[in-house]
Structure 1
Amino acid sequence: MEESNLTGNTKVFEFSEEKMSKVSEIISNSMFFTMTCSSKTEAQMCSILLLEFLYFSRYKKTVQRYFGGSAAEGTNIKTSDIDKMIVGPNIYVCSDPAEGQMVRGHVFLVDSSDCSQGHAKLVLLKTDETIPTIFDEHGKTLNDMLEERQDGKRLLSNEKVVSFWMNFLQKRETATGPPGTSRHGPCATAKNTDPQGYIKSKIGGVIEQDFAHGIPFCSHPPVGKDWLKDRENFKWPSKKVVEKIKSLTCHIVAVGDKMSEHSDVEWRISYLLWERELVWSFNDIQLQCYVLLKVLLKKYIDPVAPEELSSYHMKTIVFWESENIIDNFWHPKYLIQFARNCLLCLKGCILNCTLKHFIDRGKNLFLWRLRDPKVKDAMLNVIEEIIQNIIRYSMQCVEGIDLNTTLENSDGNVEEFLRKCRLDHDPRITYDFNESREPLRLFHYGEASSLNVNVETVLADFSTLARYKESFEENDRYIKDVHASIKIPVKKFIHIRSAMILAKQMLLSKSFSSEEFQKLTNFMDENSDLDAVSGKLYVATCFVAFKKYDKGAEVMKKIYAASKKSDTLIYAGLCSDCKSMCVSGGTLIQDRGLPRCSLPQTKYLSIFHDVIFAQGDLPLLPDALKFECFVDKVFLVHPSVYLLYLKILCSKFTEKRDNISQLENAVYECDVTLHTYRHFNILGYCYFENGDYEEAFKCYRISFSRTVDNGRPNAVIYMLPILVYSILQNQRFDSDSEIIYQR
């Protein structure tokens, strides 16, 4: 092994092919657990298809919303934004006038004359004022979007369409008010902060969403048909994937060639649905290489050449390099070799200023780019440096595991590096890899159903939930590819939410029979097996709200009894960094790592989610959570914390102290995430109700400290004055209470 100096005092280690393959396997295994893998992408695919399906159902199967980019692919990194394409009803484009005449609705003819490859003008072929469009529903008409030229042709203006969407977005109300809007290519971009950290895992993180207006083709455009036909000559993508792609629509989106004289009326052909299907078919190594290239781009290439390259370019490179690779290449030991091949391909494309679109192969993605020779040379130098020291740069891109320091401490000796990895790092990346595959897959499935879908579903009203329920019962073709381990829990959660709304109405009206209440709780119980724990807690919530504490206690006994039938459960939520929990003997024990365990046949019953409530649930919620409704539209509670809180409410006076002690342990076990302040509010309120004012104040003080720096709304501002008032009423002016009063 030779060692040479790079910039500064950085060492360059050169590895033989055999040694590189060993290190490559460690990098691949590390990325598998901390960044990306096919099970994460599969879960994200299911989640995205469900979100799109529910959106389509919500808008009575007229308006469609498709996710694109990393948000759809499961390849997101910290800088990733969210891409969405909105497709309204009754507007189509076609390449053949005869074909367009057969379609009911407003039809535009694709005219690609005097346009660069992949772009076209949309000439109105036929229209029908009796058929509404998405513009009519928001104060405009299709005619308002047209531009008439001197030759009499009526063209659809991309400028007017994007302006329409920007105006539409500005009127939307979100949790933080109307979003800031701007134009980004074919998209109207909306920027909001993430007040709860659900999306960015950071309080106040910027959520950037790009909305493109897409118009579907009546049938595949000629270039798309040619690409599909040509797939017979290649091993990737598989025939199964190609057949799936054939069933998917192509679209045209509102952006022209920026160098064109008539760019304001040009549109770009989009293969969004085809391309995300290609990424969804990626194996672990393809995904890891793609994410590796994205991180290398953001960390090392962008600083010397801002906005010259994009993640889309990296994805295209992976597409091209995947086309002719034999099956036995897809092994972790080849990850670095594959990444190196992609970088060499990228380098060649930059040298020639040509990167062909993977589907529209006459289109150059580097057109009008790389025009500054100095910037181009700087990019080539950085890429060459990465290629020459690919191991080190790859390690610096791995999140959560510091392989680079381990390599330094091993002085580049591969055997020593492997030994230190076994000693110093998570055993899953060395000797315990295969045993952890299935638990990780289930963890991603749990995240997909609960965090991605249910957080949005919890805000739906009863009529919308009924629409969702009807769509599920139709067994709609849109979600045939969604795995049952994700589809079934979401369906059951929709039923639970419907029942909770009915329970709230019963509670407020006070006019219901015992038979009606029994029927409702039976229905909730039938759907409570959406996971191992939280589903049953919704049933217990209902019993506690109606002061049927014995029934609530029975539900919690069922949770403990059911948990004895399986090994440790997998936690897929945001309220704790412990990823597993053992429930037995009336106690809850959390563990930071994923379990290594045998799993029951009904896989989603190995998972438990956060308990999710909405502001409108206030009448049903126990007192400590009522305060949370004053500050958050949606909020999460860790199931172990909430279970123990309900247990306290349902327990006898003599048992309360012991149960509060168990709750305190659970709260502190969770105390590292963005949501733990709420747990301290719950614990503090339990102490308050038990007359332990000093302990209550300690909890409230900790809760306040968790949110004071980020300005996050915290229900403690309501709970503290009540505590102080109670102290004054009870005239408890000992020294500690005096401090509470003064503060």
Structure 2
Amino acid sequence: MSRDPDYYQTVSLKLSEVLNDISVNERMILKRRRMFLLMETMETSTQSLLGSNHSIYRFGSQSEGSTTLGLKSDADSLIAFKNLNVIQDWGEWQPGRHNLLMIQDETTSPGYCLLQCLRNDEPLPFSTALLDHEPNRYHVSRGKVLLKNTLSTDAVIAGNVINGPATSRPGSPGTADQDFVQAFHCKSWPAEAQPWLLQQGIGRWPTEDMQRYCKTTGCFVVPVSSKNGRNEQLEWRISTSQAERCLMFSLNITQLRCYILTKMILKTFINPQCDGVLSSFMCKTVLFHCIQNTRSNNWVQSNLLACLMCCLTVLQNFVRQENCPHFIIPENNLMARRMSPHNKVRVFEILQKIIQSKGRALLEIPIDDLGTRLQVKVNMGEVCQYHVTPAQMHAKISSLLLQNITATISKNHKRLLESMHDGNEMVYERLSDFTLTLTRMYRAMGSNSLEISAVRLVAPLLSSSLGSVIASHNIYTTHSISPEALGCFSVGLNSDVSSGGLKLASALYCVGDMERAVFVLRNTEEKYDLNTVEPACNCSDHSLLYLRQRFMHKCTTGNEELIQHTTALCVRFLRCEICCVPKELQYEMFRSTQEDRLERDEMVDYWLDWAVVDSLPYLYFLQYRTYGALQRVADQQYALANLVTTIDTEHNLTHRETAINLLGQCMEQENRHIDALHCYMISLNIQARNNAANFLICRLLYEVVNRQENTWN
């Protein structure tokens, strides 16, 4: 492999081809970034609507586009609380706010600080005499009231794990784990990082414009102490995540590929043998130092292998010195007290072997079949078979990104509905305020495509909910549907393939307008391509078992706009929409017994007081009921057959027990009572608690017994 005089260039070009094949290319990187920044923007808009005191940022490899399927990178979110004003200078103090002063002294490690509590009525330290002392939250040192860094452990949702400063939520099968880091934002640039703003390396990177922008991002303080700090519960890490994202977004494709290869080497050769002593953030830091200290024309595809060897050599030097200086705050040693003598020697030796192999070690990397693919490219031996073609890889990543966007839409819609209080009028006012605020936000956005897209994705679902709330009140009072409600329904029709149309059809059915209901249902069915459309729901941690090939192929042709054509969200009804809900589905609103409620986690299970159903079974159920009302028996039986087939064959239903409960009630209407009972028993096998089937069985048995008694009499 190394006898070719142009060996490094040849391997670099082949390696670039391999990375392109596994979707490490400009197109997919930009797609990843857009989709994750869109999720961040959507979540920010939702928090704004709710009047929340925090913002959510998506940092890390997923939002940078610096990952692959095989690396299985976590989805990192930083939750920045806005109710606290973190300052570095007394001139930044604000009246009426909870002010915290960043303190760095002889007791704090570089890149870390203490947070001193200040008064909110005048710029003075908080007096210990005024302190209603909370030992779990505050600590008094030398007369100063300091905030402890243990707030992230105060409230941990069941199933989550504390991992340093992060709360980790395990991903469902096929999805990434999620790390949530709580933090406070400081508007001013860290004092320790001021020298960085004046530095430029050989490659004139980062540029002065980038440094000026980075300065405007300020910093975060994250609740975690340094490895060698004296104040384990008091130190807060200074994070420049926004500035680092700016740096990552400025990298060219070769630099990003080099970073991804370094992470693959870390995951394959080093961390499994050395207790995970090195982090991907160290790899990123090494890359930054290398880019700063080399000329920009070195970072080209034909030089990828040499660039990778440069990064590994710098990493090896950092290991030798046990010092990996933070790129922006170089006094902060990222390797401080992380490595035992044994691991230091072992890591150094592994890196030495990889560097001396001149790229041959890459052939042993199993992640994304990188080694096998490279063997094929350089014609070393027989042609090897690997599992996923470049087109399939692109399709899978694109479909996962679209699923993530859809899940975010569903989650934010659910979160907004959660904020509703009982009572039709109050819900109406709140939904109206939400839609009006979104309209104002949309008009004020100008050309920001991400913000415009975020509003376009969330607003239609809210509009459908508002239309249903209005229509429910209309039906209750006048047995009609007002033009206002119909207008809201109209805006919501294109939220996705089906949910908006089904909300409208449900209201039309309940008001007795069967012909128009049939028309809307027929249009919805025509849009619902069974070979392409995937169900989507965020009500629980249900994961999709498999994805349709045509769905995956369709996902390669665009971004979030494909949701209108490829995704069927679940249909949600609040209790105040009850007059727009068929009686068979109304039972779902009262599925929880007193005992069930004691077992519920109201942080996540609040939606169990709603009626929620997957789109496709609800479509066929509504067709069954409307055709029955119109005495179109053949069409009614065809709809019933479709409902049965959907429950039997659609693997990706989230609310399968609800669909089966609806089918059971259809069987009751068909006088097939044994089949109905069988349905309810299957439903209970899926979900024993919080299931309307518990009531439906009792009702069915009561009716059967009464019929038998009447027959005997």
- State TM-score, norm by structure 1: 0.71
Aligned to 1:119: 112
Aligned to 2:86: 92
Q: How much has 1:365 moved relative to structure 2?
A: 0.8
CA shift in 2, pair 1:621/1:375, >3 Å? farther
Q: How much has 1:364 moved relative to structure 2?
A: 1.4
Q: How much has 1:58 moved relative to structure 2?
A: 1.8
The Cα offsets for residues 573-616 of structure 1, whole Å up to 9 and x where unpaired, read as 36756756xxxxxxxxx845323897799765444342242664
**Native 8 Å contact 1:119 1:267 kept in 2:** yes
SS where residue 182 of structure 2 aligns?
strand
Aligned to 2:491: 526
CA shift in 2, pair 1:403/1:364, >3 Å? closer
Aligned to 2:599: none
Q: How much has 1:85 moved relative to structure 2?
A: 3.3
Q: How much has 1:367 moved relative to structure 2?
A: 1.6
Which of 428, 437, 442 does residue 391 from structure 2 map onto? 428
Aligned to 1:456: 415
Aligned to 1:216: 186
SS where residue 572 of structure 2 aligns?
strand
Which of 25, 30, 37 does residue 45 from structure 1 map onto? 37
Aligned to 2:536: 573
For residues 308-707 of structure 1, the aligned pairs below 5 Å read: 308-321=277-290, 323=292, 326=296, 342-370=311-339, 372-383=340-351, 388=357, 389-394=360-365, 396-398=366-368, 413=379, 417=383, 420=385, 425-426=388-389, 428=391, 443=402, 446-447=405-406, 449-461=408-420, 462=427, 465-466=431-432, 468-475=434-441, 480=448, 482=450, 484-506=452-474, 510-512=476-478, 514=480, 517-559=482-524, 571=534, 573=536, 591=550, 593-595=552-554, 605-613=564-572, 616=575, 619=578, 620-622=580-582, 625-626=585-586, 628-629=588-589, 630=591, 633-634=606-607, 638-651=614-627, 652-671=632-651, 679-692=659-672, 707=686
**Native 8 Å contact 2:274 2:346 kept in 1:** yes
Q: How much has 1:359 moved relative to structure 2?
A: 1.6
Aligned to 1:740: none
Which of 144, 147, 158 does residue 157 from structure 1 map onto? 147
Residue type of the partner of 1:156? L
Q: How far apart, in 1, do the equivalents of 2:248 and 2:698 lie?
A: 54
Residue type of the partner of 2:113? A
Q: How far apart, in 2, do the equivalents of 1:354 and 1:551 lie?
A: 72
Query: Percent identity at matched positions?
Result: 18
Residue type of the partner of 1:200? G
Could you tell which deviates more after superposition, 286-295 or 246-255?
A: 286-295
Residue type of the partner of 2:477? S
The Cα offsets for residues 363-404 of structure 1, whole Å up to 9 and x where unpaired, read as 21112222x11122233445556665544444x222xxx677
Q: How far apart, in 2, do the equivalents of 1:731 and 1:337 lie?
A: 86
CA shift in 2, pair 1:90/1:407, >3 Å? closer
Residue type of the partner of 1:365? L
Q: How much has 1:26 moved relative to structure 2?
A: 3.9
Which of 272, 275, 281 does residue 244 from structure 2 map onto? 275
Q: How much has 1:555 moved relative to structure 2?
A: 1.8
Q: How far apart, in 2, do the equivalents of 1:376 and 1:534 lie?
A: 57
CA shift in 2, pair 1:181/1:671, >3 Å? closer
Residue type of the partner of 1:119? Y
The Cα offsets for residues 38-57 of structure 1, whole Å up to 9 and x where unpaired, read as 31232111111221332244
Residue type of the partner of 2:536? G
**Native 8 Å contact 1:47 1:448 kept in 2:** no
Q: How much has 1:299 moved relative to structure 2?
A: 5.9
**Native 8 Å contact 2:498 2:569 kept in 1:** no
Q: How much has 1:525 moved relative to structure 2?
A: 1.0
**Native 8 Å contact 2:62 2:75 kept in 1:** yes
**Native 8 Å contact 1:91 1:216 kept in 2:** yes
Instruction: In structure 2, list runs of 5 or more residues that go unmatched.
Output: 126-130, 421-426, 538-542, 593-604
Q: How much has 1:87 moved relative to structure 2?
A: 2.1
Q: How far apart, in 1, do the equivalents of 2:485 and 2:234 lie?
A: 56
Which of 43, 46, 69 does residue 54 from structure 1 map onto? 46
CA shift in 2, pair 1:441/1:301, >3 Å? closer
**Native 8 Å contact 1:110 1:120 kept in 2:** yes
**Native 8 Å contact 1:58 1:464 kept in 2:** no
Residue type of the partner of 1:51? E
Q: How far apart, in 2, do the equivalents of 1:299 and 1:230 lie?
A: 35
CA shift in 2, pair 1:386/1:669, >3 Å? farther
Query: Within the alignment, does 1:18 sit opposite 2:10 as a pair?
Result: yes
CA shift in 2, pair 1:665/1:686, >3 Å? same
Aligned to 1:738: none
SS where residue 217 of structure 2 aligns?
coil
Instruction: Tell me the matched-pair count.
Output: 656
SS where residue 528 of structure 1 aligns?
helix
Q: How far apart, in 1, do the equivalents of 2:661 and 2:81 lie?
A: 44
SS where residue 351 of structure 1 aligns?
helix
Query: Within the alignment, does 1:200 sit opposite 2:171 as a pair?
Result: yes
Which of 193, 217, 232 does residue 248 from structure 1 map onto? 217
**Native 8 Å contact 1:340 1:390 kept in 2:** no
Q: How much has 1:474 moved relative to structure 2?
A: 3.8
Q: How far apart, in 2, do the equivalents of 1:149 and 1:32 lie?
A: 51
Q: How far apart, in 1, do the equivalents of 2:691 and 2:493 lie?
A: 30
Q: How far apart, in 1, do the equivalents of 2:535 and 2:249 lie?
A: 22
CA shift in 2, pair 1:470/1:309, >3 Å? farther
RMSD: 5.1
CA shift in 2, pair 1:361/1:592, >3 Å? same
Q: How far apart, in 1, do the equivalents of 2:112 and 2:38 lie?
A: 32
Q: How far apart, in 2, do the equivalents of 1:288 and 1:464 lie?
A: 48
**Native 8 Å contact 2:37 2:58 kept in 1:** no
CA shift in 2, pair 1:679/1:200, >3 Å? farther
**Native 8 Å contact 1:253 1:270 kept in 2:** yes
Instruction: In structure 1, list runs of 5 or more residues that go unmatched.
Output: 4-14, 134-138, 193-198, 581-589, 733-743
Residue type of the partner of 1:640? L
The Cα offsets for residues 254-305 of structure 1, whole Å up to 9 and x where unpaired, read as 4444433445444332213333444566677766665665566456544333
**Native 8 Å contact 1:92 1:215 kept in 2:** yes
Q: How much has 1:486 moved relative to structure 2?
A: 3.6
CA shift in 2, pair 1:375/1:547, >3 Å? farther
**Native 8 Å contact 2:588 2:692 kept in 1:** yes
